[in-house]
């Protein structure tokens, strides 16, 4: 037997025969499921899209649990880990996450599964709490303020100043994105930002003379008020 064969035999004996207790597997899966529920709660309270992505929310705990099982399997056998890396490298996921904020939660769930699968339960618990508190802190600081496009169509160009004054009274600040002046008509596209839903307050613009229509659009293209 050569020296290289001896080394290979020692490596195989070290990684090929690690015993994984059934109780440990069940315990890790339960822990990662309970912690992933905290991720689910944070996502539900902090999502920024107009429509709540229920399928992604339900998928977050499942992703964390599957990742934890994969890490446990990889850690138990070096041969299995090499085969699993090769198998996962050819898997192609065609579902794209359009919202970057959803990607954050997906990475969070995967990271939680890796930590629990590696046996770092205390690290998983502390990191989950800190990340959730950081997200809520950013929301409380109004980092995630909803942006809207306010489109106002009028039959006259005489009340432009009154319209802008009323928009400023509702939203405080606005940004003029487009202005179209035609014969006896005026179209204004304003970008406004607000943490609260002020769609009902926008109805006050209809009381201004010559205002024909008002459209309030979110940045993802959904109609909120018209």
pTM of the model as a whole: 0.58
Over residues 11-40, the pLDDT tens digits come to: 445 444 455 677 778 888 899 999 999 988
Query: Nearest-CA neighbor of 193 among 219, 174, 177, 166?
Result: 174
Higher-scoring residue by pLDDT: 105, 21: 105
Query: How far apart (Å, rounded) are the C-alpha atoms in residues 28 and 117?
Result: 7
Average pLDDT over residues 72-101: 62
Helices marked H in 18-98: 22-46, 54-76, 78-89
Higher-scoring residue by pLDDT: 50, 75: 75
- What's the Cα-to-Cα distance from 105 to each of 78, 100, 132, rounded to whole Å? 30, 9, 10
- What's the Cα-to-Cα distance from 2 to each of 10, 11, 12, rounded to whole Å? 13, 15, 16
Domains of the chain: 3-140 (no CATH), 146-225 (3.30.70.260)
Average pLDDT over residues 152-164: 82
Query: Nearest-CA neighbor of 193 among 178, 171, 214, 212?
Result: 171
């Amino acid at each position: 037997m050569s020296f290289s064969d001896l080394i290979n035999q020692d490596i195989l004996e070290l990684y090929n025969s690690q015993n994984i207790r059934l109780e440990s597997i069940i315990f890790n899966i339960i822990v990662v499921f309970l912690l992933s529920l905290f991720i689910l709660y944070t996502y539900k309270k902090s999502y920024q899209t107009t429509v709540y992505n229920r399928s992604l929310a339900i998928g977050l705990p499942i992703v964390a649990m599957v990742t934890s099982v994969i890490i446990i399997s990889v850690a138990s056998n070096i041969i299995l880990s090499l085969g699993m890396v090769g198998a996962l490298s050819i898997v192609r996921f065609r579902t794209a996450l359009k919202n970057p904020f959803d990607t954050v939660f997906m990475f969070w769930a995967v990271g939680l599964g890796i930590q629990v699968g590696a046996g770092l339960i205390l690290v998983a618990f502390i990191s989950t709490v800190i990340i959730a508190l950081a997200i809520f802190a950013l929301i409380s600081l109004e980092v995630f303020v909803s942006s809207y496009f306010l489109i106002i169509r009028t039959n006259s160009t005489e009340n432009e100043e009154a319209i802008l004054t009323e928009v400023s009274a509702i939203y405080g600040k606005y940004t003029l994105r487009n202005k179209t002046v035609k014969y006896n008509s005026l179209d204004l596209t304003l970008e406004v930002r607000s943490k609260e839903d002020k769609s009902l307050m926008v109805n006050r613009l209809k009381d201004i003379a010559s205002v024909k229509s008002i459209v309030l659009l979110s940045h993802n293209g959904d109609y909120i008020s018209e």
